[in-house]
Structure 1
């Protein structure tokens, strides 16, 4: 079992404590059902900072990369509901990466998630992708873990959407590792050993990796994925 499809939309943002209750209500009961109704969206999962901070991590699994520029998806992005319009400005420090799945092993939903954002050194893309892809199966199979996935951002040829304009623009993460599991301590260990900045640099990553740990809040699948 792996990610449901060949593409993923990975996002990180901060949500202030005083907005968290309304955000979770909106995101779970309006936003997820809206997105899961779009053709090509297979599953969406939301995690919150494992340390209790404001950061949110969200990942949508998609049939194909082309879903990210489909007419149905762009229609939603450019015509947000009144509730969405009210909530969008509260998505602070948004990082939004439209990704192709380079490699995927194991499951995609578990109690905890480790995300690592990084970039390859110039000329090392193929070596880095190969080395990490070979490691995913072993990472997913070890006690405490259930899945490991490698994503690469690619900007689709579309104009800035209304939702982006409301938020004030988004940043992107270049490459992304998502490791999911049921033991937070195991993920914490992976972050400092197998997937530390030093280990990633040895395979061809640039400096400045950014890792964070999250705890599951909610996951929803489309009717086609159930």
Structure 2
């Protein structure tokens, strides 16, 4: 049986005084370092439109095994001073290592809705909602993330006392208005909380391989 792809989900806020350096670090060191790890496929950055945390990073992997590999462990053993500084500057960060357990559609749109499924996952309801919106102009794809409790270790400044491992539905769309509309629809149908992000940029393993 083919293992599902994995997804590292990291959301955080950052103080205005640290923001310029934080973005330079992310854009010119951190994403490339992570995508270079064996088993990683892409790194994508988003910025909040309507969300609790301003910045979101998504890193897709071939499977959850990428997060237990020697290469991934080595990345933590050789953190640069720049990385240590910015990881410790994160405010209210959230780190989840997830399996992509349900995929509908393909592609990455300019806007992303993140739906936190507070009552768990009703696959029948999810399938019904996806079928009802699949022909909606501007809908691109949606994926269900199921967190792995063992692999989802906290970031340095993450709240360790309250870390619910709720499934999350990622809905990607062509433009902001359809994303808002579909986020509201999914929130009602799936009893979920919705947050909205816009795409900043993406780096893929294929791009790195071609220099």
Measure how far apart 1:186 and its partner are: 1.2
Compute the TM-score of the two structures, normalised by the length of structure 2. 0.84
Residue of structure 1 in register with 2:166 after alignment = 174
Equivalent position of 1:61 in the other structure: 60
The 3-state SS of whatever aligns with 1:179 is: strand
Is there any run of 5+ residues in structure 1 with no aligned partner, and where? 202-208
Question: Which stretch shifts more, 132-141 or 17-26?
Answer: 132-141
User: Displacement of 1:155 after TM fit?
Assistant: 2.0
- Deviates further, 71-80 or 48-57: 48-57
In structure 2, the CA distance between the partners of 1:149 and 1:141, relative to structure 1 (3 Å rule), is farther
For residues 42-53 of structure 1, the aligned pairs below 5 Å read 42-51=41-50
Output the CA distance in 1 between the equivalents of 2:31 and 2:93: 18
Q: Which digits, 9 at most, give the CA deviation of each residue in 1:4-60, with x for residues without a partner?
A: x61111121112233222111111110011011101100111100125986112111
Please identify, of 33-42 and 43-52, the stretch whose mean Cα deviation from structure 2 is larger: 43-52
Structure 1-normalised TM-score? Answer: 0.79
Q: How many residues in Structure 1 have an aligned counterpart in Structure 2?
A: 204
Corresponding residue for 1:195? 186
Q: Say what the alpha-carbon RMSD is for the aligned residues.
A: 2.6
Contact 1:112 1:182 in 2 (8 A): yes
Asked whether the equivalents of residues 151 and 177 of structure 1 are also in contact (C-alpha less than 8 Å), the reply is yes
Structure 2: state its 5+ residue gaps: none
- The residue aligned with 1:146 is 140
